[in-house]
Amino acid sequence: MAKFVPVDPFDLVIFGGTGDLAKRKLLPSLYHRHRDGQFSEDSRIIAVSRGELSQDEFRGLVRDALQNYLHEGEFDEDAWSEFSSRLHYHEQDVMSAMGWEGLQKFLDDSHERIRVFYLAMSPSLFGVTARNITEAGLADKRSRIVLEKPVGSDLDSARDINNQVGAVFDEEQIYRIDHYLGKETVQNLSALRFANSLFEPLWRRGAIDHVQISVAEHIGVGNRAEFYSRTGALRDMVQNHMLQLLCLVAMEPPTSMDHDDVRNEKIKVLKALRPITSENVKRVTVRGQYKAGAIKGEAVPGYAQELTDQNSDESGTNTETFVAIKAEIDNWRWSGTPFYLRTGKRLATKTSEIVIQFRPVAHSIFDESAGEVVANRLTIRLQPNEGVNLTMMSKEPGPGGFKLKSLPLNLSFSEAFPLRYPDAYERLLMEVLRGNPALFMRRDEVESAWTWIDQIIDAWDSTSQKPDAYLAGSWGPVEAALLLDRDQREWFDPETS
Ligand code: BG6
């Protein structure tokens, strides 16, 4: 197992420090890193929010969150007692330029420590918060600022945020999070592609028929119906997570793992994505919205009902909770090899995987009686059951005739490395503290992704493409199957691949 490398002393200031993300992800992740001894004694975690809370009340809130969100057996009284002494709370309205003295004074004695500002809040507050932080004199050239996704809701708003934050922090100080980049198995994609000589000669149009990237969730929109109705699956999942996965599969080998080498290659892929316009949008995209159905035998309401239940004023009729896209990359490596993307909520199961479908053999030398020669398929399972599966043709043993059979060559990471998989946020937080931006999105990356996504949204608007209904617990609308059927292909069932 990789050794824990301690990080230098830090002050991590979390704006939105009592919010959902902080409670569900950030604080549990920090607790784990603390428990593994990665923090120096004097490192501090400072939550900032508008609420009036005493230090004890805040620590009580964190304790409850850890007990709620850590897995069984992970909460430990001794570790908690040490961890809680790192926790501090400050009340501050980030919109106001006034009242920053308390935080100023608290941080003032600590210029030796790395200072990180984590903005776990609505993107509409990123600009004003960044400005107020710097005007209050809290940041210097060594400070870093972390922006949670989404950075904007379209290209214009993303540019606006990037300009506002960029006016007070240098690009090297800005860490834009896409938590998929912190997942172990997503990182493993680089190992698979660039630490094995086997795949690279085949990693191209001549050998690969098509690629499928599926990110399926069985949860619905939960208590986020209102936010979701303004966002939809395209903005929530494709603009960031799905496009990052596509880039990691499709990019040219970077010269090194250096952050700019990798990001320069990803950008080239984003720029080579064929635009989707009102001419072809109906042919290459599918929008879906779940209606009532059943997940694992349990009845669940439809999306429209959830919106009503949450007394939302928003109309969700035009919001997609599912998207499927046939993406084409116009470059020498991938021309003619489509990448099919699909993601959705309330699907049959939770799974994320990438399937590389190789082309069939050029010519079969076997008699018909040997059976079909099935083309090889590489499946990279990102979650759950992380691993890699390669189907291979073999001869069925036995004295009878010559029979062929497709068999899996299956690598399970949980069997190879029987240990706890750290949450993506644990790695990402440590990378910010170490000052390594490789796993974060550069400004031009975010903006290029929005450029492609905005065209799809415009095309949906101009052609009035409405979401097709699908049953909760299914694999999305029938139109998603037809998308591949038109190309004489089909989605692989994640449960059996
Ligand atoms: C978030 C989306 O970025 O990713 C959520 O906003 C989604 O809607 C989540 O549920 C999925 O992340 P994971 O790590 O559970 O696959």
pLDDT given at position 497: 44
Tell me which residue of 16, 37, 20, 476 sits closest to 291, measured CA to CA.
476
pLDDT given at position 388: 95
Ligand 1 atom 9, closest CA: 237
> pLDDT band at 398, cuts 50/70/90?
confident
- Count of CB atoms situated within 10 Å of the CB of 314: 14
pLDDT tens, residue by residue, 64-115: 999 999 999 999 999 999 999 999 999 999 999 899 999 999 998 666 889 9
User: Is omega for the bond preceding 422 within 30 degrees of 0, making it cis?
Assistant: no
Distance (Å) from CA 438 to ligand 1 centroid: 21
Among 100-104, 323-327, 466-470, the least confident range: 100-104
CA-to-CA separations, 149 to 141, 171, 179, 265, 454, in angstroms, rounded: 23, 16, 8, 21, 17
Indicate the class that CATH gives domain 10-148.
Answer: alpha beta
Q: Which atom of ligand 1 is nearest to the CA of 240?
A: 3
pLDDT given at position 111: 66
Ligand 1 atom 10, closest CA: 217
Reading the block at residue 465, the tokens are 């493409």
CA distance 325 to 341: 5
pLDDT above 90 (res 294) = yes
> pLDDT band at 418, cuts 50/70/90?
confident
pLDDT above 80 (res 312) = no
pLDDT above 80 (res 290) = yes
User: The whole model's pTM is what?
Assistant: 0.95
Active-site residues, by number, are: 241
The residue-averaged pLDDT of 437-447 equals: 95
Q: Are 133 and 145 in contact (CB under 8 A)?
A: yes
Bridge partners, 115 (sequence order): 11
Pocket of ligand 1 (CB under 6 A): 149, 217, 236, 352
CA distance 29 to 424: 9
Q: What is the mean pLDDT of the chain?
A: 94
pLDDT given at position 14: 98
pLDDT given at position 110: 60
Cα 391–Cα 394–Cα 399 angle in degrees, nearest 5: 155
pLDDT tens, residue by residue, 186-244: 999 999 999 999 999 999 999 999 999 999 999 998 888 878 888 999 999 999 999 99
Q: Which atom of ligand 1 is nearest to the CA of 383?
A: 16
> pLDDT band at 5, cuts 50/70/90?
confident
pLDDT tens, residue by residue, 139-159: 999 999 999 998 999 999 999
> pLDDT band at 44, cuts 50/70/90?
very high
pLDDT given at position 109: 66
Domain ranges of the chain: 10-148, 181-418+467-485
Distance (Å) from CA 401 to ligand 1 centroid: 50
Distance (Å) from CA 386 to ligand 1 centroid: 17
CA distance 327 to 178: 21
Q: Which atom of ligand 1 is nearest to the CA of 178?
A: 3
Distance (Å) from CA 349 to ligand 1 centroid: 14
Ligand 1 atom 4, closest CA: 237
> pLDDT band at 341, cuts 50/70/90?
very high
Q: Are 378 and 193 in contact (CB under 8 A)?
A: no
When the candidates are 3.40.50.2300, 3.90.226.10, 3.90.1150.10, 3.30.360.10, the CATH number that belongs to 181-418+467-485 is: 3.30.360.10
Distance (Å) from CA 384 to ligand 1 centroid: 14
CA distance 494 to 257: 30
pLDDT above 90 (res 353) = yes
pLDDT given at position 125: 95
Q: Is 363 exposed, middle or buried (0-12, 13-18, 19+ CB in 10 A)?
A: exposed
pLDDT tens, residue by residue, 479-492: 999 999 999 999 99
CA distance 237 to 81: 37
pLDDT above 70 (res 276) = yes
| Substitution candidate for ligand 1 out of 148, 226, 237 with most atoms within 8 A of CB | 237
pLDDT above 70 (res 173) = yes
Distance (Å) from CA 113 to ligand 1 centroid: 32
| Substitution candidate for ligand 1 out of 122, 179, 306 with most atoms within 8 A of CB | 179
